[in-house]
Structure 1
């Protein structure tokens, strides 16, 4: 009787466990590409970033920080732990300052997030438009913004949403083309046409 030969792994990618990955795996698996997300127990790898995406993120981070209350912070591209099997990485988020634990922090808890922002990219359209907003709402994040490109222009369009506490679903509260002006989660005004100067 001969012993069975061990199966050799031919791919450098990790083989998922039978029941999928957990957020613990997301933070401990070695050599994952930057900005890897966990959605429903599956690892999701980000594609190359486009100039529009990066510029809009910069514009929104600057705009959100310009009137930021002292008890809040703005962060970009940090994992939000929604539950054991979901750790998405919104492009921008507003969190409670008390949630900051130090410079080596890798994630925030959903309960500490007031706003999650997704800038839609071609490779992530379905996730940014449907999957992530549903998960953010189910986790109780009060506000969500979805940012899209305004046709063939370089300008963004920002769709703002607020959470309906009864249905645990987002309600569309506005569509902003040239200027984003909102009072929730706090007073924010951003000249969206300024993206041309970045």
Structure 2
């Protein structure tokens, strides 16, 4: 019995000379969902963990319920930093006037007040080193990094220091997070799924 030809190898996009640009994300066919552009290179998303999914959904919901009317909270949406960088924070808080159409695919970095990254195993270096530098360079005032420590969410909070143009740490939060900027929030971080609750439900 003829088994037929072997399956075709996956075909990855071949970058043009000089690398990809931010506009290419909207024009390249068949890109995986949540593809980012970092330093002219395409970065593909990996499958989410339960922790990552719960952190993103909970933070989005909590921030949206607390945000003043002139701000919007959007999950997993790309922002334009420059021609060669169009990252996708897990959660962004933007000025409401940046939402121009339900069909738009990105926000200008100048409209972003807060970028949040939920760290996964493959994104540690990007979220701790690469992206904060780019967000600071784009003058995004606030950056939060969320990490999973033994099934519990820990949030590292940073604010842009105008004299240096770099982020400075303004707090590390476990269990409860209470901050006043970019607007007042009081979050129960224990509501983000823990390994103990996950194990108990299996």
- TM-score (ref. length: structure 1): 0.91
Is 1:191 the equivalent of 2:170? no
Other structure's SS at 2:122 match: helix
Where in structure 1 are there 5+ consecutive unaligned residues? 1-9
- Show the 5 A alignment for 1:40-189: 40-150=39-149, 152=150, 154-189=151-186
Cα deviation, 1:119-175, whole Å, max 9, x if unaligned, reads 00001110011100100000000000000012x2x2200000000112111000000
More deviation in 12-21 or 88-97? 12-21
Distance 1:14 1:100 in 2: 30
More deviation in 165-174 or 109-118? 165-174
Distance 1:38 1:71 in 2: 28
Distance 2:36 2:128 in 1: 16
Count residues with an aligned counterpart.
187
- TM-score (ref. length: structure 2): 0.90
Cα drift, residue 11 of structure 1: 5.2
- Give every structure 1 segment of 4 or more consecutive aligned residues whose post-TM-superposition deviation is greater than 3 Å: none
Other structure's SS at 1:184 match: coil
More deviation in 188-197 or 127-136? 188-197
Cα drift, residue 12 of structure 1: 1.3
More deviation in 56-65 or 29-38? 56-65
Distance 1:141 1:43 in 2: 22
Other structure's SS at 1:173 match: strand
Distance 1:11 1:166 in 2: 48
Distance 1:166 1:29 in 2: 39
Match of 2:6 in 1: none
Distance 1:165 1:26 in 2: 31
